[in-house]
Amino acid sequence: MTSKTAHWDHRYQVGDTPWDSGIVERELVRFVKSRTNWTGRAFELGCGSGTNAVYLAKTGFEVVAADCSTTALSRGSELAAAVGVSVNFIAADLCSVADVRRALGSDSAKLERSFSLLFDRGCFHCARKVNLTGFLETLDWLAAPHTNFLMLCGNPNDRSEGGPPRVSQDEVRSELGGLFEFVSIYEFHFEDRGGITGPLGWACEMIRRA
C-alpha cells in the first residue's frame, strides 16, 4: 500500500470526507442533460465512493471510475451492485498514466483516448500539487480530440475556512489550456452532506483540442 493510498483510505475509514456527500453532483447532471441522448464511455477521475459514477452508468454511459482509495472503491462497487448498474472501478494513481494502464489491464489498449466524457469533482486541485505533469499525461492518454471534460475545483474567492485546495482561474487556464479548449468557467457551490451549501468552486467545461 502506498502512502497516498493509506492517507485517503484512512480518511474514508474514519469518516473525514466532507466532499463525500452521497449526492449526485448537480453540475454533472446539468452538463449531461444539456446534450441530447449523450452516451459513450465516461471516465471519472477521483471517483471516491462512486455516487457520480453510478449516476453516469444509470444514464447509459459505459463508466470507468478511478481512485487511489481502495476503501472508497469498495463502497462504490457496493453502491453500483445495489442499484443494478455496472461500473469498472479501478485503483490507480491518476498522476501516473502507467499505473492507470496497469489498473485497466487487458482493456488498456482499446480504452486509450476512447472516452467521450471526463469528469473530475475535486481531483485536479489535489493532484496538481503532487504531480501536475503526471496528471496531464493521464488526461492526454484518456481524452481523444473533442472529448468533453467537466472539472470542478476549489475557488480562491471563497473566504471561508477549510474547504478544498483553491486554484485561481488563471492557473486553471494555464495548466489545462494546452490540452483543452475552455467552453466556460463559472462559479458554483459544492454541496456537502445533508444538502448543505458547501465551499465555492469553479465549474470548468472544456473540450479536448484536436
- Assign residue 110 the CATH number of its domain: 3.40.50.150
Q: Is 150:31 a contact under the CB 8 Å cutoff?
A: yes
Indicate whether 189 pLDDT > 80: yes
Indicate whether 35 pLDDT > 90: no
Cα 177 to Cα 97, 149, 170: the distances in Å are 19, 12, 10
Identify the residue with better confidence: 182 or 20.
182
Indicate whether 41 pLDDT > 80: yes
Residue 154 domain-assigned (yes or no): yes
Average pLDDT (151-177) is 95
Indicate whether 3 pLDDT > 80: no
Supply the mean pLDDT for the chain. 94
Average pLDDT (115-121) is 97
Query: pLDDT band for position 23 (50/70/90)?
Result: very high
Helix axes 26-33, 51-58, angle to 10 degrees: 20
Q: Give the Cα separation of 120 and 118 in Å (integer).
A: 7
Give the model's pLDDT for residue 36: 74
Residue 19 domain-assigned (yes or no): no
Give the model's pLDDT for residue 8: 86
- Say how many CA atoms lie within 13 Å of 152 toward its Cβ: 24
Nearest C-alpha neighbor of 157 from the set 169, 175, 172, 142: 169
**Which value, to the nearest 10 degrees, does the dihedral of the CA atoms of residues 128, 7, 104, 24 take?**
-80
Give the model's pLDDT for residue 37: 74
Indicate whether 7 pLDDT > 90: no
Q: Give the Cα separation of 98 and 36 in Å (integer).
A: 34
Indicate whether 38 pLDDT > 90: no
Q: Which spans in the chain are helix H?
A: 3-14, 26-33, 51-58, 70-83, 97-104, 108-111, 124-142, 169-176
Question: How many domains does the chain divide into?
Answer: 1
Strand order in the sheet with 180-192: 87-91, 61-67, 40-45, 115-121, 143-154, 196-208, 180-192
Residue 18 domain-assigned (yes or no): no
Residue 168 domain-assigned (yes or no): yes
Give the model's pLDDT for residue 1: 56
Give the model's pLDDT for residue 161: 87
Helix axes 70-83, 51-58, angle to 10 degrees: 30
Average pLDDT (19-28) is 93
Question: What is the residue range of 115's domain?
Answer: 3-12+24-208
Residue 202 domain-assigned (yes or no): yes
Residue reference for cell 452521497: 22
Residue 96 domain-assigned (yes or no): yes
Cell reading at 37: 441522448
Q: Give the Cα separation of 33 and 10 in Å (integer).
A: 35
Q: Give the Cα separation of 93 and 127 in Å (integer).
A: 10
Residue 111 domain-assigned (yes or no): yes
Q: Considering only 16-20, 112-116, 203-207, which range has the smallest mean pLDDT?
A: 16-20
Indicate whether 138 pLDDT > 80: yes
Q: Give the Cα separation of 88 and 147 in Å (integer).
A: 19
